[in-house]
Structure 1
């Protein structure tokens, strides 16, 4: 999508839609929102809707970073403790590796 072809009010509407979509446990949508609208929020000359777009971009970036940290912590904890968790660790696994390392 070429954002240069959209009027500023439609850009704000699209940015807000992506932010709300990310609130439904879709952190990838927040990351896309940051990538697509970063230039509109921080690089382009000032326009009326820019302040709100900037807010949505910052909140989307913060949300995506928080989700990445949570996901990395869970993956690390699971990989380090799966064997120690016994049957619970096995039931959480999609593929159960045989034996121990």
Structure 2
């Protein structure tokens, strides 16, 4: 979608929708929102809705980074501690690797 052809009010509504949808445990939408609207928020000539778009872009970027950090921490912790957690780790695993008793 070419954002240059979209009216400013629709840009704001779309940016707001992506930001709010990210709260439904869809942090990928925050990443898309931050990347997609970055030029509109920081590079495009000033227009009335730009201040609100900038706010949503910044918060979307922060949310995406925080989710990435949390997900990475969980992946590292689980991968390194799975064998030590024993039966609990087996119960939360979808695929149980073989080889470590």
TM range (shorter): over 0.9
Question: Partner residue of 2:78?
Answer: 78
After the TM superposition, which residues 5-84 of structure 1 pair with which residues of structure 2 at under 5 Å, given as runs?
Answer: 5-84=5-84
- Once the two structures are TM-superposed, the CA of residue 92 in structure 1 deviates from its matched residue by 1.4
TM-score, length of structure 1 as denominator length: 0.96
Deviation at 1:2, TM superposition (A): 1.1
Unaligned ranges ≥5, structure 1: none
For this pair of structures, how many residues does the alignment match?
100
Give me the whole-angstrom Cα distance separating, in 2, the residues matched to 1:79 and 1:9: 46
> 2:94 is matched with which residue?
94
Can you list the C-alpha shifts for 1:37-84, whole angstroms capped at 9, x where unaligned?
Answer: 000000111111100000000000000000000000000000010000
Q: CA separation in 2, counterparts of 1:92 and 1:30?
A: 27
Over the aligned positions, Cα root-mean-square deviation in angstroms equals: 0.7
